[in-house]
Each structure stands twice: as C-alpha cells, then as structure tokens.
Amino acid sequence: MSDGYDLPLVCIKAETLAEGWEKAVIATWERGTSIPTQYDQEGDPPSRDVSLALAVRNAFGEPRIHRALPGGIYDLEVYRQEVVYGIHDHWIDPEAGKWQYTYHERIEAYEVPDGRIINQLDYVVDALASAPHTRRAQISIWKAWEDAGIHDPACLQRMWFRVFGDRLLMACHMRSNDAFKASYMNMYAFTDLQRVVAERLTERLGREIVPGQYNHMVDSFHIYGSYFEEVEAFLETVEARSWEERTWTMAEMEPIIEDARARIEEHLKRERAQGKLDG
C-alpha cells in the first residue's frame, strides 16, 4: 500500500502502451494510498490512489493492445474516433441535459468568452512546423469559466508536443484518471491524435515525423473500491498468462477493428438519416 507519502508518486518507464498501462495499474494497486471518492456507494472500500508519471518510449510499439482493456475493441474504436474525429460532438447540449463538452470540441473548436473559436490542433501543427523544438506547442482543455462546479468536469487538462529528431513527443496531463477502467482507452486515443499531428508535420516539413515518446501524467490515478474484485482477477491473469497471452498486436486485431469501424459508420449513417448528425 502507501509508501508513507500522502499521495505516492509512481514513476514508470515502459517500451509500449500495453506494458505501461499494466505496470501503472499494478503499481497503483500495490502502492496506492487509501482514500474515499465522491462516487463511492455504501459498502465500497476506499479507492487506491497515486500520482502517476508514465513514460512510454514508443507510442505505437507492439504489442499495442492489452487484452484487459475495458469494454472491447468496438468501445475502444468509438472512443478513438470521438477524440480524434469528433464523431459525437453533436451530442453536446448541456441545456438539454446531454454532454457538456467533448475533448475533440475543446481541441479543435475551443470557444473563449469573447466568442472566438480556436482550433488548437492547427496551432500546434503551425507552431511545430515553424520551430519543431518549440516548448510552446500545447492544447488546453480546461475552461475555468465553464468547468468549475459542473457535474462532469474535464479530466484531461492539457496536451504538450515537441519534436526530437524525427520523433514527435506528446505529453498528456490529467487531473484525474480511472486507472483500471478508463486510462488505457485514454492513452490509446490520445496517442492516435499524436499520430495525426506527426502525419501533418510530415507534410509541412517535407520529412517523415513519427510518433515517439508518450508521457501520461496524472494527479490522481486511482482504482475505485467497487472494482477491487475485478482488479484482483486481472492480477491473477497477469500471474497465470504469458505476455503474448495478455496482449494483441494491431495486425492481429485489424479485422476486428475494421468490423468495428464499419459498425460505427452504419450507426452514424442512421443518425444522419434521422437528422441527428450533420454532414
């Protein structure tokens, strides 16, 4: 459990996303401090909580997919497309009790109090194309004038980018992250945005830029007490199965991912036909 600090700082280096996520969950289970949350139900044990600094050397290294990901490949692909392409931005309608924001909307259509709309992704690409070594290429998610006090404030706070040689580094900073049931999906989607920036920079700079190091920084990286039995089962699987049996490569899962993409497109077509989605 806790190492004596109020909130232990866990620092992890890993080669791949799947490896980094697994190590982070295990470290949180073993070293996390015990503390209640605002979401606990009666009888739930306190959560286990750490601050996390995770560095993944190769964001697209294989195996990239961990088999213990929450939900399944379909849910993973939906979330990736939400973050990168904004497929559910039309669900934003706080006055109707629907979503208050999406990460994609905050990234590519960040509205400030004077009414201006800022495409922060374009800014990042422009900044890096002008000076790949710049320390100013970042995206802000939090809106103090909107997010303070709302029911579901953004967990992701900002994204930071910098080019080292031919590799694009990306760092994501989160105030809060569900270690077991959300963080892998977050990392997977965020690194796909890293890929998009790298591809756009390749075009702008006239030389190949590839996704490189990914840093996942979290103030509160936690395992909820209500998940403890599931986490214990996960830990048993880690002990019982080989690394190859705990992971998949993207090539192995490509047919399933393609099927998920086709199902998502069919769903979006139905929404368009019903007038719920423009385009």
The range of the structural domain enclosing residue 119 comes to 9-273
Kindly give the interhelix angle for 183-205 and 17-31, rounded to the nearest 10 degrees: 140
Q: Is the residue at 150 inside a domain?
A: yes
- Pairing between β-strand 210-223 and β-strand 33-35 as defined by DSSP bridges: unpaired
User: What is the C-alpha to C-alpha distance for residues 162 and 143, in angstroms, rounded to an integer?
Assistant: 24
Least confident of 88-97, 109-118, 129-138: 88-97
Q: Nearest-CA neighbor of 158 among 182, 137, 174, 177?
A: 174
pLDDT in tens, 15-30: 999 999 999 999 999 9
pLDDT in tens, 30-72: 999 999 998 888 989 999 999 999 999 999 999 999 999 989 9
The answer, yes or no, to whether residue 276 has pLDDT greater than 90, is: no
User: What is the C-alpha to C-alpha distance for residues 22 and 13, in angstroms, rounded to an integer?
Assistant: 11
Task: Give percent of the chain with pLDDT exceeding 90.
Answer: 89
Average pLDDT over residues 167-175: 98
Spatial CB neighbours of 191, under 8 Å, sequence gap ≥ 6: 17, 59, 60, 170, 211, 214
Q: Is the residue at 278 inside a domain?
A: no
- How many domains would you assign to the chain? 1
Q: Is the residue at 20 inside a domain?
A: yes
The answer, yes or no, to whether residue 2 has pLDDT greater than 90, is: no
Q: Is the residue at 165 inside a domain?
A: yes
pLDDT in tens, 224-252: 999 999 999 999 999 999 999 999 999 99
pLDDT in tens, 208-221: 999 999 999 999 99
Q: What is the pLDDT of residue 279?
A: 45
**Token digits of residue 53:** 């600094």
Q: Is the residue at 4 inside a domain?
A: no
Q: Is the residue at 104 inside a domain?
A: yes
Mean pLDDT of the chain: 95
pTM above 0.85, yes or no: yes
**SS3 sequence of 220-243:** EEEECHHHHHHHHHHHHHHHHCCH
Average pLDDT over residues 104-127: 98
User: What is the C-alpha to C-alpha distance for residues 159 and 140, in angstroms, rounded to an integer?
Assistant: 7
The answer, yes or no, to whether residue 194 has pLDDT greater than 50, is: yes
What's 178's domain CATH number? Answer: 3.30.572.10
Q: Is the residue at 60 inside a domain?
A: yes
DSSP string, 86-101: -TTGGGB-GGGTSBS-
Q: Which helix (H) or strand (E) holds 156?
A: strand 156-164
Q: Is the residue at 25 inside a domain?
A: yes
CB 163 within 8 A of CB 170: no
Q: In terms of pLDDT, which residue wins out, 149 or 78?
A: 78
